[in-house]
Chain A
Amino acid sequence: MTEKYSGILIFAEQKDKTIHKVVFELLSEGRKLAEQLGVGVYCALLGPGGIDAKELIYRGADAVYYVEDDEIFNMPDELAYSENLVNLIKTIKPEICLIGATSLGRSIAPRVAAALETGLTADCTDLRIDDDGKLIQIRPAFSENILAHIVSDKMPQMATVRYKEFQESKPDFNRTGEIVSFNSIRPMDRTFEFIKELSRKETDISDSDVVVSVGAGIKNSEDIKMIYELAGLLKGTVGASRAVVENGFISREHQIGYSGNRVKPKLYFACAISGAAQHIAGMKDADTIIAINTDPSAPIFNIADYGIVGDIYEIVPMLIKRLKEINQN
């Protein structure tokens, strides 16, 4: 029965006709897996007309199935997305189906898996092919303390994959492939009466190369200004520990940790963060970690490349002053 299933299908998430970068990461990883299996890589592009589908070919797809609909894919309508994706998967029967673990991806993937009566592994950080040609889905579990290697014995083998785990594939303009248009289906019973966009995120903290975070050592919301100033000078974004968010000093969008955002920046600068397990789970994969804390036994120092035992109220202003001097020269 499994012989019928072949190839790797990647869900090419888009918003306003722009393809999410996680798709390019999945294309680079998908290509590697496909070479090992000797199969093709396909993209499922669900969106309005006028998307540059060729870019997916240049970046590694052998074919793009473009389900074009100007109406139903303009909003995060899980029913429309999942029903169309299920329809496509049933037609092309891929052995592997990868979906970026974005908020939309995490919301539609379970519907798709349940409709296909197959397994689904959440939030993978690595993928491999085993000796039997099956997909090993690797995901962190229990506050990132372990990595579970998971296999699925049903087809297709489905996984959502975290953003920023793989390098983006670079476009190769000599690559060729087919763009197949595919009819959309409209969910019969429109149970959503409406979906309206109220606002959109200006910056996504997980996209930042530099994150300057503040913890419980900050005394009031006014003092966060110096953290913003430091982040600005380093062209970064401001993060926060759960305590700071729960004190109402900053909105939850900034929360770093297991129950907030997970970040993987080039530089993570932890100001007065002690380093509770729940916080560390969200930032421990940063390339470089700097920490300032008054308590020399704070756990954050165990994972920091550079640590200063001291008060942020003394050190951060010094650093801001130095950075400004550098900028002026």
Chain B
Amino acid sequence: MRVIVLVKQVPDMERVKFDTEKGVIDRKSAGTEINPFDLNALETALQIGEKTNSEIIVLSMGPHSAEQSIRDAIARGAHKGILLNDKKFGGSDVKATSVTICAGIKKIGNFDLIIAGMQSVDGDTGQVGAEIAQILKIPHISFVEKLNEFDCNSLTVTSNIWEGIYLKKVKLPALITVTKDINIPRLPSFKNKMLARKAEVTVWGYDDLEEHLEESQLGFKGSPTKVKKIVIPKTAHREGKMWREDYSHAVDNLIEVFKCRKILEV
């Protein structure tokens, strides 16, 4: 089997600073990492790979620096990594991104399963996975939180959707997006780290994908959605009342708040 894992390099959102004046993220203020959900996607692929003797390919789209994320994925056990990188891909929205990644998947060819994280922590749309499934005309299962059964023809998983927990069995090829509950991602092994350092990351640009892609579908031009402006949200006005001692008095005050806000019926 061939399993493709989609990964995205993201800023470390716990540390990244935000310039509220300019309305932009200061990317230099924090390091980058693999989108945390994608580590769960990779772990899922590795577990399937171990049992089915599958080839695990990591596919990413982004700047040259995203090679680092691919190497990290190889250090964790992926066999091969491909980065889609071209100036022409810049400014892609969900649609242009999905179309470009699909071109990469088509060039890889002969895949059985595609696994992605349920969303990225920076863009946070959670839409690219399902769009890719539609473009490739394969079924997808979102929010997969458990891998139940699998073989080379089908996959049975537990999905948290529609206010319930559902067991779904799907024929391959298919795409799944996974939640953080599905597993605990393994750490890179020392041996693999050494391998990853030397591993060759394949980089494909527009010229390599031309067969599967039209230039009009790419980047900013190929993106139907455009950001018109960025607004810093107004923060709600808060009372800001504090108590540091005399807790009994503080508790009396909270009771009044509950009554006032009709939390407690009086």
Chain B residue numbers with a CB within 8 Å of A37 are none
Q: How far, in whole Å, are A309 and B244 apart by their CA atoms in the complex?
A: 5
- CB contacts under 8 Å to B, within A135-186, are 136-138, 140-154
* A146–B233 touching, CB < 8 Å: yes
Q: Does B190 contact A (CB under 8 A)?
A: no
* B166–A196 touching, CB < 8 Å: yes
Q: How far, in whole Å, are A141 and B236 apart by their CA atoms in the complex?
A: 18
* A278–B13 touching, CB < 8 Å: yes
The one of B129, B170, B224 that contacts A192, using a Cβ cutoff of 8 Å: B170
* A114–B135 touching, CB < 8 Å: yes
The one of A115, A152, A195, A315 that contacts B247, using a Cβ cutoff of 8 Å: A315
Assuming the contacts A197-B164, A198-B166, asked whether A113 and B131 have C-beta atoms less than 8 A apart, the reply is yes
Query: Closest approach, in angstroms, between the C-beta of A49 and any C-beta of chain B?
Result: 19
Q: Does B71 contact A (CB under 8 A)?
A: no
* A118–B224 touching, CB < 8 Å: yes
The one of A15, A76, A152 that contacts B225, using a Cβ cutoff of 8 Å: A152
Q: How far, in whole Å, are A104 and B164 apart by their CA atoms in the complex?
A: 10
Chain B residue numbers with a CB within 8 Å of A318 are 247-248, 251
The interface-forming segment of A54-62, A219-227, A280-288 is: A280-288
Q: How far, in whole Å, are A137 and B123 apart by their CA atoms in the complex?
A: 15
Q: How far, in whole Å, are A169 and B225 apart by their CA atoms in the complex?
A: 29
Query: Closest approach, in angstroms, between the C-beta of B127 and any C-beta of chain A?
Result: 4
Chain B residue numbers with a CB within 8 Å of A308 are 242-244, 247, 250, 254
The one of B138, B180, B225, B232 that contacts A259, using a Cβ cutoff of 8 Å: B180
Q: How far, in whole Å, are A289 and B257 apart by their CA atoms in the complex?
A: 11
* B166–A75 touching, CB < 8 Å: yes
Assuming the contacts A111-B134, A309-B242, A315-B247, asked whether A147 and B128 have C-beta atoms less than 8 A apart, the reply is no
Mask, B226-266, CB within 8 Å of A = 1, is 11111111011011111111011011111101100111100
Q: How far, in whole Å, are A304 and B243 apart by their CA atoms in the complex?
A: 12
Assuming the contacts A82-B134, A123-B125, asked whether A152 and B160 have C-beta atoms less than 8 A apart, the reply is no
Q: How far, in whole Å, are A323 and B252 apart by their CA atoms in the complex?
A: 10
Q: How far, in whole Å, are A192 and B139 apart by their CA atoms in the complex?
A: 8
* B140–A310 touching, CB < 8 Å: no
* B228–A194 touching, CB < 8 Å: no
Q: Does B60 contact A (CB under 8 A)?
A: no
Chain A's closest residue to B158 (CB) is: A198
Query: Closest approach, in angstroms, between the C-beta of B136 and any C-beta of chain A?
Result: 10
Query: Closest approach, in angstroms, between the C-beta of B197 and any C-beta of chain A?
Result: 31
Chain B's closest residue to A234 (CB) is: B263
The one of B95, B233, B236, B241 that contacts A119, using a Cβ cutoff of 8 Å: B95
Q: Does A290 contact B (CB under 8 A)?
A: yes
The one of B23, B36, B131, B250 that contacts A114, using a Cβ cutoff of 8 Å: B131
Chain A residue numbers with a CB within 8 Å of B159 are 76
Chain B residue numbers with a CB within 8 Å of A289 are 238
The interface-forming segment of A3-11, A24-32, A40-48, A199-207 is: A199-207
Q: Does A121 contact B (CB under 8 A)?
A: yes
Chain A residue numbers with a CB within 8 Å of B36 are 259
* B247–A314 touching, CB < 8 Å: yes
Q: Does A71 contact B (CB under 8 A)?
A: no
Q: How far, in whole Å, are A272 and B27 apart by their CA atoms in the complex?
A: 31
Q: Does A303 contact B (CB under 8 A)?
A: yes
Q: How far, in whole Å, are A96 and B231 apart by their CA atoms in the complex?
A: 23
* B239–A277 touching, CB < 8 Å: no
Q: How large is the interface on A (under 10, 10 to 19, 20 to 34, 35 or more residues)?
A: 35 or more
A-B pairs with beta carbons under 8 A, tally: 258
Q: Does B93 contact A (CB under 8 A)?
A: yes
Assuming the contacts A151-B225, A153-B226, asked whether A290 and B254 have C-beta atoms less than 8 A apart, the reply is yes
The one of A119, A301, A305 that contacts B93, using a Cβ cutoff of 8 Å: A119
Q: Does B143 contact A (CB under 8 A)?
A: yes
Interface centre among B122, B125, B241 (most CB of A within 10 A): B125
Q: How far, in whole Å, are A143 and B262 apart by their CA atoms in the complex?
A: 31
Mask, B66-90, CB within 8 Å of A = 1, is 0000000000000000000000000
Query: Closest approach, in angstroms, between the C-beta of A240 and any C-beta of chain B?
Result: 14
Q: Does B130 contact A (CB under 8 A)?
A: yes
Q: Does A214 contact B (CB under 8 A)?
A: no
Query: Closest approach, in angstroms, between the C-beta of B163 and any C-beta of chain A?
Result: 5
Q: How far, in whole Å, are A217 and B133 apart by their CA atoms in the complex?
A: 43
Query: Closest approach, in angstroms, between the C-beta of A86 and any C-beta of chain B?
Result: 9
Chain A residue numbers with a CB within 8 Å of B185 are none
Q: How far, in whole Å, are A305 and B163 apart by their CA atoms in the complex?
A: 32
* A199–B165 touching, CB < 8 Å: yes
Q: Does A78 contact B (CB under 8 A)?
A: yes
Chain A's closest residue to B264 (CB) is: A326
Assuming the contacts A122-B124, A143-B13, asked whether A285 and B236 have C-beta atoms less than 8 A apart, the reply is yes
Q: How far, in whole Å, are A315 and B85 apart by their CA atoms in the complex?
A: 56
CB<8 Å pairs between A and B, sample of 5: A78-B142, A114-B130, A191-B138, A204-B163, A266-B261
Q: A110-B98, A152-B225, A287-B261 are in contact. List 12 more A-B contacts (CB 8 A).
A: A120-B95, A122-B126, A151-B226, A199-B165, A201-B163, A277-B14, A305-B239, A306-B243, A308-B242, A308-B247, A309-B242, A310-B244
Interface on A for B, CB 8 Å cutoff?
Answer: 15, 75-76, 78-79, 82, 102-104, 106-111, 113-115, 117-123, 136-138, 140-154, 191-201, 204, 209-210, 234-235, 252, 258-259, 266-267, 276-278, 284-285, 287-290, 296, 301, 303-310, 314-315, 318-319, 322-323, 326
The 6 closest A-B pairs by CB, nearest first: A119-B224, A110-B130, A114-B134, A122-B125, A119-B225, A200-B164
